[in-house]
């Protein structure tokens, strides 16, 4: 019999540090201002501070309740390193005697002069990005557990018995891509039997270090994959059957965050694993029959939302726990997912409206919620006061001013199908051409120009109060003047103002719309050292005044060429904010769409002839289960159309999407009914044109010809070849010429040259068309 699982736990904690200490240390190390030893020391300090904090918040420091979930960069990369699953191109990197060599590790994550890094992609339906392991038919695996063991020893030295966390074998292989050169029928999951012995050895090593519980994360069980479900189910049974065999290993917890494991639960339950975690926020509460499967195990009930920032409804969570009480199944309380998706502490937000702050629960507050609920699970009634207090706050939130605004709701309810419908495309096309008179293969950019040090400093000084509102405006106008002048000189057909007023494409709108607030320190890791600070969407959304019109009109006053107005779309605003959880996302989306609709109308009224509504996150919120995708795409598309459909036929609506894996969503993208759609395409060398051709995409499309994710300047000839490829598959009359994405993070030197080449290439192809 294994040691009992702790009564309360979390399955992961933010790694970046309350003041982004890890980010700062990493960036100092990469730029040569900090040595490796100091970086390691800082990382250790963050780990130990985390253990101490979690102990203070009520997790048992000796009972395996604290997960060792730290990572210097990414948890999937860490597991790849443990398994020695390093692509051939990195074979010469030193392995540092079992403990990771820092530079080798960062080379995998960030590449070096001669080698691209591992690819990066979205972690499930979150805004976190992981590094994609590459596994071939014969890639060797070798166990390299040094870092994991060091973490365990170091914690023990400081007085903690922690619970090591590793990505489980099924998820690890499903998240991997087939290495270059693997046969067409190969999938990394074919290598399951080759990695299992390493996982088994790892368990033995950890047992030898006194570890009592190990956590294997298997979020892949909550998603649908290209492989058949039976195949994955069989892999789950085989993997955990093998790992749980015998008694020479620590007890095993398997987590399944981000949804329901569905039929994989039975496969998992049939093995000897000791505890199973379920996400009971996103996923379904198990039926009595499912519960019965867990007989003899611990059910780790993820009832506290790990992905959102709202105070938990403790009464509802307690009721869920009550319903799960079953003979023969031990019950433990946890978060639904790792807390890596939320900021550290609401205590760091003194400037926030106190009423709003009382509704919030960041990572540290969520740990408290977990421990309170665990007390309820052990002694029902013991924490009635805490439960009542939470209900009171929730009640206040429901009734608070701004949360439910009758006029906003009435407007959303009054929408009819025709409000999401524009005139037929041929009519629009003719009207737009008459107004705009654009050449074949028109050139444009995606919106932002490099954010210069001057612009950033002006914003900082305005925030500090050392630059007046007027002074700030003047500084931005100077920048706009420069950006317009540059585009005219380069010969662009459709200009942009460059977005210098935007710190961030969502936060800018959150700062101007009612129903939102922004935090000071609410950073969450996006990838590596990169963090974002999602806004808080807490109330009904409405627009008090125009948000972008003055900037766009000013830019338009400087030129005869059309200047595109630039807005962020409703789905992207939701995806990159913390959104209220008291009504369906679809309803909130319509409110945001209506606020944007007002902006579209004002832009049009002020003489803007082209308006772009960016939806780079459209695919991000796509549900992990296929059965749920159509309903999502339906409301997402409708929100975009509500935002854009009041535009007259002569106003050209653009949209921009940031990815090229298009297949699953191409009908939805077509459904947006934008006149022009720009998409990422340069990195995949225009592969997307095949999807567009197969689909019969009939409106304007700008497949990106300049990869802005790298500082490299593309030659005009190279761009010309890409464009030629595009016009072989899409009629030239539909094709636009633009970069892959905004230029915000680039420098002017490389941008000017690249854009010059882009315009040259467009001219060359035009001349030969």
Query: Contact residues for ligand GLN (CB under 6 A)?
Result: 446-448, 499, 505, 566, 614, 616, 656, 658, 741-742, 744
Least Å distance between CB 741 and Zn ion? Answer: 3
- Which among ligand GLN, Zn ion, none contacts residue 603 (Cβ within 5 to 8 A by kind)? none
SS3 at position 768: helix
Least Å distance between CB 651 and ligand GLN? Answer: 18
- Which among Zn ion, ligand GLN, none contacts residue 744 (Cβ within 5 to 8 A by kind)? ligand GLN
Least Å distance between CB 492 and Zn ion? Answer: 18
272 vs 500, beta carbon nearer Zn ion: 500
- Which among ligand GLN, Zn ion, none contacts residue 198 (Cβ within 5 to 8 A by kind)? none
Tell me if 613 contacts Zn ion by CB under 5 A. no
Separation CA 557–CA 547 (nearest Å): 18
Tell me if 658 contacts Zn ion by CB under 5 A. yes
Shortest CA distance to 599 belongs to which of 636, 545, 676, 637? 545
* Tokens coding 437: 């008179």
Q: Is the dihedral of CA 496, 501, 505, 510 positive or negative?
A: negative
Region for 17 from its dihedrals, namely left if φ exceeds 0, alpha if ψ lies in -120 to 50, beta otherwise: left
- Which among ligand GLN, Zn ion, none contacts residue 264 (Cβ within 5 to 8 A by kind)? none
259 vs 742, beta carbon nearer ligand GLN: 742
631: Cβ contacts below 8 Å, ≥ 6 apart:
none
61 vs 704, beta carbon nearer Zn ion: 704
Helix (H) or strand (E) holding 655: strand 652-657
Maximum C-alpha span of the chain: 80
Least Å distance between CB 659 and Zn ion? Answer: 8
Least Å distance between CB 509 and ligand GLN? Answer: 12
Separation CA 413–CA 406 (nearest Å): 10
Least Å distance between CB 446 and ligand GLN? Answer: 4
Enumerate the H helices of 325-405 as residue ranges: 354-358, 363-378, 384-399
Nearest residue to ligand GLN, scored by beta-carbon proximity = 742
Supply the DSSP symbol for 677: E
Instruction: Specify whether 709 is catalytic.
Output: yes
SS3 at position 65: coil
Packed helices 363-378 and 384-399: angle between N→C axes, nearest 10 degrees: 130
Kindly list the distances between the CA atom of residue 505 and the CA atoms of 533, 614, 644, 669, 754, in Å, as whole numbers in the listed order: 12, 9, 18, 21, 23
To the nearest 10°, the Cα dihedral for 302, 306, 311, 313? Answer: -20
- Which residue spans within 244-315 are E strands per DSSP? 251-256, 275-279, 298-304
Enumerate the H helices of 379-525 as residue ranges: 384-399, 406-413, 425-436, 453-464, 469-490, 507-512
451 vs 553, beta carbon nearer ligand GLN: 451
- Which among Zn ion, ligand GLN, none contacts residue 566 (Cβ within 5 to 8 A by kind)? ligand GLN
Least Å distance between CB 15 and Zn ion? Answer: 27
Q: Which of 206, 214, 220, 741 binds Zn ion (CB under 5 A)?
A: 741
638 vs 656, beta carbon nearer ligand GLN: 656
498 vs 539, beta carbon nearer ligand GLN: 498
SS3 at position 270: coil
- Which among ligand GLN, Zn ion, none contacts residue 448 (Cβ within 5 to 8 A by kind)? ligand GLN
246: Cβ contacts below 8 Å, ≥ 6 apart:
none
Window 614 to 633, contacts with Zn ion (CB under 5 A): 616
- Which among Zn ion, ligand GLN, none contacts residue 147 (Cβ within 5 to 8 A by kind)? none
SS (H, E, C) 194-207: HHHHHHHHHHHHHH
Least Å distance between CB 502 and Zn ion? Answer: 14
* Tokens coding 343: 């900021």
Catalytic residue, candidates 138, 180, 690, 709: 709
Tell me if 506 contacts Zn ion by CB under 5 A. no
Shortest CA distance to 694 belongs to which of 675, 673, 670, 677? 670
143 vs 681, beta carbon nearer ligand GLN: 681
- Which among Zn ion, ligand GLN, none contacts residue 505 (Cβ within 5 to 8 A by kind)? ligand GLN
Binding mask of the shown chain, residues 557 to 596, with x at each position contacting Zn ion by CB under 5 A: ----------------------------------------
109 vs 446, beta carbon nearer ligand GLN: 446
Q: Which residues bind Zn ion (CB under 5 A)?
A: 616, 658, 741
Catalytic residues: 709
């Amino acid at each position: 019999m294994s040691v009992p699982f702790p009564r309360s736990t979390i399955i992961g904690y933010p790694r970046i540090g309350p003041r982004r200490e890890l980010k700062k240390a990493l960036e100092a190390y990469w730029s040569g201002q900090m040595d490796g030893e100091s970086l390691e020391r800082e990382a250790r300090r963050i780990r130990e501070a985390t253990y101490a904090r979690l102990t203070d918040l009520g997790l048992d420091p000796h009972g395996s309740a604290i997960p060792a979930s730290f990572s210097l960069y990414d948890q999937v990369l860490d597991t790849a390193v443990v398994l020695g699953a390093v692509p051939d191109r990195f074979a010469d990197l030193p392995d540092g005697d079992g403990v990771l060599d820092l530079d080798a590790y960062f080379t995998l994550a960030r590449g070096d002069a001669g080698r691209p890094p591992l690819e990066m992609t979205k972690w499930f339906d979150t805004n976190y990005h992981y590094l994609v392991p590459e596994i071939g038919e014969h890639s060797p695996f070798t166990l390299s557990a040094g870092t994991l063991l060091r973490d365990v020893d170091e914690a023990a030295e400081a007085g903690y018995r922690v619970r090591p966390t590793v990505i489980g074998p099924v998820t690890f292989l499903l998240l991997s891509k087939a290495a270059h050169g693997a046969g067409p029928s190969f999938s990394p999951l074919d290598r399951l039997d080759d990695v299992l012995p390493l996982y088994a050895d790892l368990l033995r090593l950890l047992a030898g270090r006194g570890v009592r519980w190990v956590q294997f994360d298997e979020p892949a069980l909550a998603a649908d994959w290209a492989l058949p479900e039976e195949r994955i189910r069989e892999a789950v049974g085989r993997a955990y059957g093998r790992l749980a065999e015998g008694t020479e290993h620590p007890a095993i917890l398997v987590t399944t965050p981000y949804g329901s494991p569905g039929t994989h639960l039975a496969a998992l339950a049939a093995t000897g694993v000791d505890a199973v975690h379920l996400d009971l926020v996103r996923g379904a509460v198990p039926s009595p029959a499912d519960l019965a499967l867990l007989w003899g195990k611990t059910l780790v009930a993820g009832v506290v939302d790990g992905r959102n920032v709202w105070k938990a409804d403790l009464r509802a969570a307690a009721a869920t726990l009550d319903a799960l009480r079953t003979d023969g199944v031990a019950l433990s309380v946890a978060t639904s997912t790792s807390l890596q998706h939320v900021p550290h502490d609401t205590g760091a937000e003194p400037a926030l409206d106190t009423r709003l702050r009382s509704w919030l629960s960041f990572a540290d507050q969520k740990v408290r919620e977990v421990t309170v609920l665990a007390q309820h699970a052990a002694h029902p009634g013991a924490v009635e006061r805490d439960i009542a207090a939470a209900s009171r706050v929730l009640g206040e939130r429901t009734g608070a001013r701004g949360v439910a605004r009758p006029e906003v709701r009435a407007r959303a309810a009054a929408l009819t199908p025709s409000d999401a419908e524009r005139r037929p495309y041929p009519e629009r096309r003719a009207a737009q051409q008459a107004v705009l008179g654009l050449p074949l293969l028109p050139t444009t950019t995606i919106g932002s120009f490099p954010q210069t040090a001057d612009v950033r400093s002006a914003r900082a000084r305005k925030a500090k109060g050392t630059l007046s509102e007027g002074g700030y405006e003047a500084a931005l106008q100077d920048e706009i003047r420069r950006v317009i002048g540059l585009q005219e000189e380069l010969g662009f057909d459709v200009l942009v103002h460059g977005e210098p007023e935007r710190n961030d494409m969502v936060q800018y709108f959150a700062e101007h719309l009612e129903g939102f607030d922004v935090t000071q320190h609410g950073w969450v890791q996006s990838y590596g050292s990169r963090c974002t600070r999602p806004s808080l969407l807490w109330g009904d959304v409405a627009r008090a005044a125009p948000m972008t019109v003055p900037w766009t009109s000013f830019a338009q006053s400087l030129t005869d060429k059309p200047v595109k107005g630039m807005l962020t779309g409703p789905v992207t605003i939701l995806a990159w904010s913390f959104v209220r959880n008291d009504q369906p996302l679809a309803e909130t989306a319509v409110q945001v769409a209506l606020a944007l609709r007002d902006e579209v109308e004002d832009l049009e009224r002020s003489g803007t002839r082209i308006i772009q509504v960016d939806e780079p996150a459209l695919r991000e919120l796509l549900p992990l289960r296929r059965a749920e995708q159509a309903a999502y795409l339906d409301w997402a598309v409708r929100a975009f159309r509500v935002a854009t459909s009041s535009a007259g036929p002569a106003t050209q609506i653009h949209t921009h999407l940031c990815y090229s894996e298009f297949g699953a969503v191409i009908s939805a993208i077509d459904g947006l009914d934008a006149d022009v759609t720009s998409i990422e395409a340069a990195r995949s060398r225009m592969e997307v044109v095949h999807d567009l051709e197969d689909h019969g995409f009939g409106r304007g499309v700008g497949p990106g010809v300049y990869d802005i994710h790298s500082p490299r300047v593309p030659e005009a000839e190279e761009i010309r070849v890409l464009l030629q490829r595009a016009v072989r598959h899409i009629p030239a009359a539909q094709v636009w010429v633009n970069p892959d994405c905004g230029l915000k993070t680039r420098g002017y030197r490389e941008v000017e040259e690249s854009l010059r080449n882009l315009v040259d290439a467009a001219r060359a192809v035009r001349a030969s068309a």
